[in-house]
Structure 1
Amino acid sequence: MEWKILACSLLLSLSTTAWAQVPEPDSELGQEMQTLVKNYVAEHPGISIDEAITRLAVQTEILQSMQDLRREFAGRLTEISIQPAPDQHILVELKGSAPVANRRLVTRSGSTRVVFEEGHKHTGEEFHARIAKHKDLLYSAIPGITGLLGRPGEDRLIIYIEGNERQAEELQAAVERLERVLGLSISLRPNMARSRISS
């Protein structure tokens, strides 16, 4: 996520119609931008370099709108994210069944759909509070935890462990008990050393 924000800040002034603003390829800024664009293209096969530049510029331009959406739906917000397919769009996942009409944001570099998905069981705050409440239980039931990754929109908790696949399989009974207690889907990701996990 950090590299995406950096990419956005570097590419804010760029669009497919503004090539005159591209820095010299051999300059430090030019090399950083090339790296960021290449990373984006590598993560999203089928996206051209021009489209990657535009998407990264748009991501910067919609940051404030995403903060506005967080505030507007603070009482219902499960998760908000930028999705790459079928087109780049903002996905706003909400607790409860009250419908919200989709929107479109227009920025200097293009327009972006805002898609609302209702029907989630928890807000993001409720989801993370549930995990925090049972953190001691999680660490006592699952040996070798190196990190936790919550997916509120999926009602899913991913637990990183140092153990291998066999050890992960042996822990499945404990995982099922934890799922009943937390009311979440839980999966283990083995072979994850502490140095590789960011909490």
Structure 2
Amino acid sequence: MQGNFFQGTIPSSLRSLRGIEDLSLSRNNFSGRIPEFLEEFKFLESLDLSYRNFEGMVPIKGVFRNSTATSVRGNSKLCGGIPEFRLPNCKLQHANKIRLSLTMKFVISLVSYQSVLKASEGFSLANLIGKGSFGSVYKGVIENSETTIAIKVRNLLHPAASKSFFVECEALKNIRHRNLVKVLSACSGYDHRSDDFKVLIYVFMVNVGA
């Protein structure tokens, strides 16, 4: 597809080309977010997205796991991805970051969606340890550490989930008890689909539900 001067976002019709082995989008004017369906191309061995106008988070599965097979150079608005891409971390939504910093002063630090994604191995079903009406809980490991954590992901399709997230933050700020699970961090921002995303991160304990 190189050299055709296509414009706009990568078309969803490419989803059907699952058997493709080499995909170069150079010398086109594609922009927008990198579609996550490219992660699912099992036979894709080479992907060139360099020097375009892509933005947002770079996927981390499939061909995107290999920095020698995937080129994202020259896209100044991209973030995340594997460390070898040397891209900046994806930032939290500014307003949510301020709000959380006020309500969760006891938290070690705010984390990015990218960090949570890596810790849970892409929210793998193998790491799912609990599920309820307000969300799901995944087991994960903090990067560069052996600390095991429980990642409580809010189901924001539930009408009360977003409100309950901040209610829980406020409650945890004011409660101290040795029998309560310790909160380590929080994430409030957007995921790779630009959907609202809210997470609380706890010390991992057996039988912690959603």
Q: Same fold (TM over 0.5)?
A: no
Structure ranking higher in helix proportion: 1
Taking structure 1 as the reference length, the TM-score comes to 0.27
Taking structure 2 as the reference length, the TM-score comes to 0.26
Larger radius of gyration: 1
Structure ranking higher in strand proportion: 2
